[in-house]
């Protein structure tokens, strides 16, 4: 809106005739305007004062730059008339607050650096302490390793020479495994090999063994428990300390943990043995019972803890056998020093383990070669043995050989069978049977069979045996073959002259056999045998099955069978079979004896003895032949 005073000036300039009047009016107006301006000025000053007071109070409550920014963002000055002094206060306050914040950051940074320096100094001091301690420990470890370098080297040499297998521990020699020293207390007793393979024991025995191992060596790991288990098996094998695993464990005075149950020494040192063995103890017990373990004690039957006792039979310094410088002993020495961590001990044992593996591999190769040579020699001896002439005799001889394990003997037998299959003469030299013996035995069997066929009482059943159905042919098919019926054999059911002839039908004959068997309540083979006896190839009249196998004739033949004829026939046939088997066995034995006979010189005792066996066998064959001639059914009717 334009200023009123300017308007009046314009008017006064545009109308000079009324200038005096307008001039007076203008003066009056300006005076009024000045008075109004004075009033407005005083009002504005009052508002600014009030606002300044409020703003100063609000600014006093703001402590940081973020608070000032928030106050301004929320409209702290919006619509509020304040003096220039207060505006300067707001601007200066920002700078003051920022400076104060920076000062506090500087102080915090300074304090942080001082604390870091203090912490670093503390860490440095601690590191210096640890470094000194570690340096001392390292020096102690190096001194120990230098002092025991010979022990480690000797352990490697022994391991390389002996492999991972144990050496023998004889009286006066000892080995150390874990906390125990193992040896043999009995004077003159050598090592005992108790690992004779798997043992079949009850679950109670398994638990008793596991409890014993845990009680005796549970703090020495599986190796320590297996060593104690080896002693138990060695004692059981020796027979001096009780019978079997249970007998050894429960014999009074052998294992102090069981004194509470055996009553030995008034139960002193006895423990509560009714506990569940841990997994390691059970694993060790299973290894001992299965035979899948190595006796690291070298066949020991006794052991003791030198930290607890030192028996009269125990080790005395140099009595410790070389086995005591093995990997186990070296590890134990490192443990006893207290200077090495488990990782250090494992690392130090690695060269010994490598030497063990190399040595054991060499020993295994040498042992395998020796066993191979021994097996070859043993097999050849069996093949050359004139007393062994059959696979049964060979297997028995192989399996009874105690020089080899059961697995090795089974493999030996399979190899020998393969050799014999390729060349049977390796087991039994080719020797022809005595033709006189063959003729006599075969002839006797054939004569007995012919006699059964010719006997009226048994001939029908002999024929029935030959016509009995089997998986390939029915009784009717065998009957057709016996009498000569086939597809080319014509039948003439309707004409004398054959004008409508048809071929023979096997199904019709099968049904006829079945009807005869049902009608007479006999087996199909007996029905077929009766039909064979009644058969007419060209009967008077039509050539039909009904005419050729006359029903009345067939039934009459069956009815002629005595009540006990079939039973007597079967008994006679069984006797013939028994005598036939006996003759065949005697023939085989004679052939084997004749093969042996050829391997001994004339006049030798062995040859004479074999010839005597041959003669005795021939006498038995003569007796069997005589029995065959009498093997006829009783006349029961």
Q: What is the pLDDT of residue 83?
A: 77
- Is the pLDDT assigned to residue 12 strictly greater than 60? no
Relative orientation angle of helices 65-73 and 84-147, to the nearest 10 degrees: 140
**Interior/surface letters 567-585, b for 16+ CB within 10 angstroms, e for the rest:** ebbeebbebbeebbebbee
Question: What per-residue confidence (pLDDT) applies to 171?
Answer: 45
**Residues 328, 296 contacting (CB under 8 angstroms):** yes
Res 398: pLDDT? 87
The domain ranges of the chain are: 4-61, 168-320, 366-426, 458-561
Of the candidate ranges 69-78, 342-351, 363-372, 522-531, the one whose mean pLDDT is the lowest: 363-372
Which residue blocks in 239-341 are alpha helix, DSSP H? Answer: 244-250, 259-262, 279-290, 327-337
Say how far apart CA 440 and CA 622 lie, in whole Å: 8
* pLDDT given at position 38: 55
Tell me the pLDDT of the chain averaged across its residues.
75
pLDDT confidence tier of residue 3, bands split at 50, 70 and 90: very low
Q: Residue 517 pLDDT > 60, yes or no?
A: yes
CA distance 620 to 615: 9
Give the pairing type, strands 175-177 and 502-503.
Answer: unpaired
Which position has the higher pLDDT, 542 or 485? 485
- Strand pairing partners for 491? 502
Distance separating alpha carbons of residues 228 and 213, to the nearest angstrom: 6
Taking CB atoms within 8 Å and a gap of at least 24, the contacts of 369-376 are 371/404, 371/408, 374/403, 374/404, 375/404, 375/408, 375/412
| 232-244: average pLDDT | 89
Q: pLDDT class for 422, splitting at 50, 70, 90?
A: confident
pLDDT for 510 equals: 92
Residue 108 — pLDDT band, cuts 50, 70, 90? low
pLDDT of 577 over the 90 cut: no
Alpha helices in 423-468 (DSSP H): 435-454, 459-467
Distance in angstroms (rounded) separating the CA atoms of residues 248 and 231: 10
Residue 36's pLDDT is 47
pLDDT bin (cut points 50, 70, 90) of residue 433 is low
Q: Is the dihedral of CA 377, 383, 386, 388 positive or negative?
A: positive
More confident residue, 190 or 142: 142
State which H helix or E strand residue 616 sits in: helix 605-629
Mean pLDDT of 29-57: 63
Question: Is the sign of the CA dihedral 548, 554, 557, 563 positive or negative?
Answer: positive
Lowest pLDDT segment from 198-212, 302-316, 401-415: 302-316
Winning range, highest mean pLDDT, from 89-98, 102-111, 591-600: 591-600
- Residue 321 pLDDT > 80: no
Q: For 81-88, what is the mean pLDDT? A: 73
- pLDDT over 70 for what percent of the chain? 69
- The residue behind tokens 């607890």 is 308
- d(Cα 406, Cα 416) in Å, to the nearest integer? 15
How many CB atoms are located within 10 Å of the residue 560 CB? 12
- DSSP of 55-113, one letter per residue? HHHHHHH--SHHHHHHHHHTTSSTT----HHHHHHHHHHHHHHHHHHHHHHHHHHHHHH
Q: Is 539 left (phi over 0), alpha (psi -120 to 50) or beta?
A: beta
Instruction: Dump pLDDT digits (tens) for 440-495.
Output: 667 677 777 777 666 766 788 888 888 999 999 999 999 988 888 876 666 655 44
Highest mean pLDDT among 150-159, 217-226, 420-429, 470-479: 470-479
How far apart CA 154 and CA 330 sit, in angstroms, is 10
Q: CA end-to-end span of the chain, whole Å? A: 165
Rounded Cα gap, residues 206 and 203, in angstroms: 5
pLDDT at res. 22: 46
Higher pLDDT, 493 or 240: 240
Lowest mean pLDDT among 101-115, 198-212, 274-288: 101-115
At residue 226, the pLDDT reads: 92
Q: Can you give the pLDDT at residue 597?
A: 74
Residue 97 has pLDDT above 80, yes or no: no
pLDDT level of residue 360 (50, 70, 90 thresholds): low
- The highest-confidence range among 86-90, 136-140, 250-254, by mean pLDDT, is 250-254
Give residue 116's pLDDT: 58
Mean pLDDT on 296-303: 86
pLDDT in tens, 151-205: 677 667 666 655 554 444 444 567 777 778 888 877 666 788 888 889 999 999 9
CB–CB of 577/627 below 8 Å? no
**63: which residues sit within 8 A by CB, 6+ positions away?**
97
CB-based contacts of 162, cutoff 8 Å, min separation 6: 323, 326, 359, 363
Handedness of CA 601, 602, 606, 612 (dihedral sign): positive
Give the CA angle between residues 274, 275, 281 to the nearest 5°: 125
Checking if the pLDDT of 590 tops 80, the result is no
pLDDT at 557 over 60: yes
pLDDT over 80 (residue 411): yes
Task: Choose the most confident range, by mean pLDDT, from 317-331, 544-558, 595-609.
Answer: 544-558
Q: What percent of the chain has pLDDT over 90?
A: 13
How far apart are the C-alpha atoms of 255 and 235, rounded to whole Å? 12
Whose CA is closest to 320, among 159, 166, 183? 183
135-163 burial string, b = 16+ CB within 10 Å, else e?
A: eeeeeebeebbeebeebbebbbebbbebb
**Residue 15 pLDDT class (50, 70, 90 cuts):** very low
- Whole-angstrom Cα distance, residue 175 to residue 426? 50
Residue 547 has pLDDT above 80, yes or no: yes
């Amino acid at each position: 809106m334009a200023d009123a005073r300017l308007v009046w000036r314009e008017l006064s300039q545009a109308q000079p005739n009324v200038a005096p009047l307008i001039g007076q009016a203008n003066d009056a107006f300006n005076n009024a305007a000045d008075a109004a301006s004075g009033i407005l000025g005083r009002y504005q000053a009052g508002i600014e004062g009030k606002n300044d007071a409020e703003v100063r109070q609000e600014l006093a409550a703001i402590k940081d730059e973020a608070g000032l920014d928030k106050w301004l963002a929320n409209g702290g000055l919006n619509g509020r008339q304040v003096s220039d002094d207060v505006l300067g206060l707001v601007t200066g306050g920002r700078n003051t607050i920022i400076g104060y914040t920076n000062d506090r950051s500087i102080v915090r940074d300074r304090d942080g650096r001082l604390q870091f320096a203090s912490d670093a100094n503390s860490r440095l001091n601690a590191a210096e302490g640890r470094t000194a301690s570690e340096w001392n420990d390292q020096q102690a470890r190096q001194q120990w390793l230098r002092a025991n370098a010979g022990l480690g080297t000797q352990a490697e040499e022994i391991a390389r020479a002996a492999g991972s297998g144990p050496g023998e521990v004889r009286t006066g020699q000892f080995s150390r495994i874990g906390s125990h020293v193992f040896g043999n207390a009995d004077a003159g007793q050598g090592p005992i090999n108790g690992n004779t393979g798997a043992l079949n024991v009850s679950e109670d025995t398994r638990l008793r063994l596991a409890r014993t191992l845990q009680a005796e060596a549970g703090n020495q790991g599986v190796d320590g428990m297996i060593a104690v288990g080896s002693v138990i098996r060695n004692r059981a094998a020796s027979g001096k300390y009780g019978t079997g695993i249970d007998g050894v464990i429960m014999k009074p005075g052998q294992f102090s943990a069981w004194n509470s149950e055996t009553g030995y020494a008034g139960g002193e040192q006895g423990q509560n043995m009714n506990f569940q063995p841990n997994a390691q103890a059970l694993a060790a017990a299973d290894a001992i019972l299965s035979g899948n373990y190595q006796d690291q004690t070298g066949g020991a039957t006794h052991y003791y803890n030198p930290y607890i006792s030192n028996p009269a039979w125990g080790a005395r310094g140099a009595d410790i056998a070389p086995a005591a410088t093995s990997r186990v002993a070296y590890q134990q020495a490192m443990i006893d020093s207290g200077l090495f961590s488990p990782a250090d001990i494992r690392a130090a044992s690695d060269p010994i383990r490598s030497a063990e593996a190399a040595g054991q591999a060499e020993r295994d190769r040498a042992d395998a070669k020796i066993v191979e040579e021994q097996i070859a020699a043993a097999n050849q001896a069996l093949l050359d043995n004139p007393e062994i002439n059959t696979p049964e005799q060979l297997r028995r001889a192989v399996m009874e050989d105690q020089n080899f394990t059961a697995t090795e003997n089974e493999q030996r037998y399979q190899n020998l069978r393969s050799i014999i299959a390729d060349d049977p003469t390796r087991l039994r030299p080719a020797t022809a049977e005595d033709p006189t013996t063959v003729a006599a035995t075969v002839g006797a069997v054939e004569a007995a069979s012919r006699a059964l066929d010719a006997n009226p009482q048994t001939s029908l059943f002999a024929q029935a045996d030959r016509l009995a159905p089997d998986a390939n042919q029915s009784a009717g098919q065998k009957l057709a073959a016996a009498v000569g019926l086939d597809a080319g054999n014509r039948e003439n059911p309707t004409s004398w002259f054959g004008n409508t002839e048809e071929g023979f039908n096997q199904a019709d004959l099968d049904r006829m056999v079945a009807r005869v068997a049902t009608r007479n309540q006999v087996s199909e083979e007996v029905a077929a045998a009766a039909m064979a006896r009644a058969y007419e190839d060209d009967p008077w009249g039509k050539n039909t099955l009904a005419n050729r196998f006359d029903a009345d004739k067939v039934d009459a033949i069956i009815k002629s069978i005595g009540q006990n004829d079939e039973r007597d026939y079967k008994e006679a046939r069984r006797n013939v079979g028994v005598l036939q088997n006996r003759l065949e066995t005697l023939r085989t034995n004679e052939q084997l004896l004749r093969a042996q006979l050829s391997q001994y010189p004339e006049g030798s005792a062995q040859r004479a003895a074999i010839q005597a066996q041959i003669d005795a066998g021939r006498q038995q064959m003569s007796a069997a032949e005589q029995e065959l001639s009498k093997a006829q059914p009783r006349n029961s009717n």
